Structure 1
């Protein structure tokens, strides 16, 4: 494996950008593997003259009320939990900025664990759009219409460690935030909360990763391996 850095990945993206056009690069991988963090690091490392936007696919999840009505509450993150037509339309619009016109992208709150309509934003123009999250695996054998796709791979034990750390961080924060989705788990002891989080990984996130998300690895332009200490290699 060859060591790499977010700056080197940013250079590869910038080299493929055509002036005057919007380049849409996807970043995907398992839940908790660090997609959002890598997107921010790449954005920070891109040349200062480029206008960069980061979009999370989480915003294209169906609202919790819809998921509940469709019996999909325990399938959040699986392909059927996304508003696939809206995500496809947004990708098409972003790729043709600015001639297509402004694209409204929805947003998601990890605190409320739901789509946040008030946080939606409008993207009128961009040189590079980094779209990170789930929902970027091939569907019906077709790769999403992206100019570049990065897949973050990691050992399952490391992903579990990151997932548990994130869950417990949100669980801790809920102690002083009754509006948090995670406040409902505060009656659990710390050990019980960790065990509950592990059951979520094993029952929901792991099957989704192996059955769906990992398919993106096969069609990715760049596959990076992330170590427990967050070092990257190609």
Structure 2
């Protein structure tokens, strides 16, 4: 996403900013939509204007893998029941008032990692990216919600590429979640990634993630190379 022009997005965000207090911007969209890279680029863009910006992820609010196994939710990781909704709401409320702990998540071990937790003072802007940003109970604690939109075929291709990249990186990292797949051939791993996409991530997208598009304040449309092709304001 290097060289991506975020000025139009930043302008739309500025127009929706509250008069005072921490401005909470949510970035959501499908698995593999590029939320992390987009949110990082957005945070850097806003910080370049002198804002004190913090970036966090909802992955830290997933239930630990052991707890998901106890609840028989391992195959629904990323679905709404797999999150600690109360903890996420408490953190978003707390960070507007004082130092607040945001838990961390490792995409290498594929689990919540206490060592990655961070304590944040109230920033000028908090960018939070990930799933589970549309509340099921109570009012939203997000001031502006950005939805990253892309064709399902592009999303699947991005997911498979990411899966293969993590599988390749696991060759020299036995602690990686993806190390368990190192005994498989590349075509077998690609087939596994496509199966996971079709049976898990696509279902989550259609049933739980895509509905957030209608509730988003901004919809950022991405092309096959992740470049922004359109920005649509809602409401």
RMSD across aligned C-alpha pairs, in angstroms? 1.5
Unmatched 5+ residue regions in structure 2?
A: none
Partner residue in 2 for 1:56: 57
2:81 maps to 1:80: yes
Aligned-pair CA distance for 1:224: 1.1
Cα distance in 2, alignment partners of residues 78 and 144 from structure 1: 18
Cα distance in 2, alignment partners of residues 92 and 132 from structure 1: 16
Residue in structure 2 matching 1:145, options 131, 141, 149: 141
2:216 maps to 1:220: yes
2:21 maps to 1:21: yes
Aligned-pair CA distance for 1:20: 4.7
Cα distance in 1, alignment partners of residues 165 and 180 from structure 2: 14
**1:148-179 per-position Cα deviation (integer Å, ceiling 9, x unaligned):** 00001100010011000100000000001011
Aligned-pair CA distance for 1:144: 2.7
**1:17 partner SS:** coil
Residue in structure 1 matching 2:177, options 171, 181, 185: 181
Deviation larger for 71-80 or 143-152: 143-152
**2:133 partner SS:** coil
Residue in structure 2 matching 1:211, options 207, 213, 218: 207
Matches within 5 A, 1:1-234: 5-18=5-18, 20-46=20-46, 47-94=48-95, 96=96, 100-139=97-136, 144-232=140-228, 233-234=230-231
Cα distance in 1, alignment partners of residues 211 and 101 from structure 2: 28
Point out 4+ residue stretches in structure 1 off by more than 6 angstroms: none
**1:42-91 per-position Cα deviation (integer Å, ceiling 9, x unaligned):** 11111431100001000000000000011001000000000110011111
**1:124-165 per-position Cα deviation (integer Å, ceiling 9, x unaligned):** 12000000000113425x663211000011000100110001
Q: TM-score if structure 1 supplies the norm length?
A: 0.92
Cα distance in 1, alignment partners of residues 153 and 139 from structure 2: 28
Q: Is the 8 A contact 1:19 1:127 kept in 2?
A: no
**1:187 partner SS:** coil
Q: Is the 8 A contact 1:43 1:52 kept in 2?
A: yes
**2:201 partner SS:** helix
**1:122 partner SS:** strand
Q: TM-score if structure 2 supplies the norm length?
A: 0.92
Unmatched 5+ residue regions in structure 1?
A: none
